[in-house]
């Protein structure tokens, strides 16, 4: 009775390379820490930048962010800072999306029910990061 077992599992940030067979993710990496996948968000940085292939990656506890999360910090290839947050916490700091316009009437000769859809919003959070 009263016994306690402390288990320490040493984890490190991993870069998961995307398959070269998929054009949309070719040359990109995802960041993983243990079982969690991370996102980079536009609210923190320019998500179109490339991550330096030898950029050191480290974790940091941020109590002030989203009620407390473990973030991954590193640098983009241009030397600017990079911060990734757990995928489960993504898009919680984005401003509310603008109201979507109502679909327009279908063009003449279009099949019934084929209204034009508005263009999708550009992404504000991504998992697959370009790697320089």
Percent of the chain with pLDDT over 70: 81
Q: How many domains does the chain have?
A: 1
Task: Please report whether residue 5 resides in a domain.
Answer: no
Backbone angles phi, psi at 75, to 5 degrees: -135, 145
pLDDT(26) > 90 = yes
Q: Which residues contact 83 (CB under 8 A, 6 or more apart)?
A: 40, 44, 45, 71, 72, 73
pLDDT of residue 34: 94
pLDDT grade for 122, boundaries at 50, 70 and 90: confident
* 57-110 pLDDT per residue, tens: 999 999 999 899 999 999 999 999 999 999 999 988 866 566 666 666 666 666
Task: Please report whether residue 116 resides in a domain.
Answer: no
Please name the helix (run of DSSP H) or strand (run of DSSP E) that holds residue 70, with its range, or none.
strand 69-75
Mean pLDDT of 9-27: 94
Task: Please report whether residue 23 resides in a domain.
Answer: yes
pLDDT(116) > 90 = no
Task: Please report whether residue 6 resides in a domain.
Answer: no
Domain of 68 in residue numbering reads as 13-91+121-130
């Amino acid at each position: 009775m009263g016994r306690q077992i402390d288990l320490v599992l040493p984890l490190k940030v991993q870069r998961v390379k995307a398959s070269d067979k998929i054009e949309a993710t070719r040359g990109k990496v995802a960041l993983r820490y243990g079982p969690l996948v991370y996102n980079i968000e536009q609210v923190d940085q320019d998500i179109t930048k490339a991550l330096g292939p030898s950029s050191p990656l480290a974790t940091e506890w941020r109590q002030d962010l989203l009620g407390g999360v473990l973030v991954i910090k590193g640098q983009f290839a241009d030397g600017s800072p990079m911060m990734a947050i757990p995928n489960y916490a993504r898009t919680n700091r984005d401003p509310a999306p603008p109201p979507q316009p109502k679909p327009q009437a279908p063009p003449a000769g279009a099949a019934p029910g084929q209204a034009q859809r508005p263009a999708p919003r550009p992404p504000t959070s991504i998992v697959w990061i370009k790697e320089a």
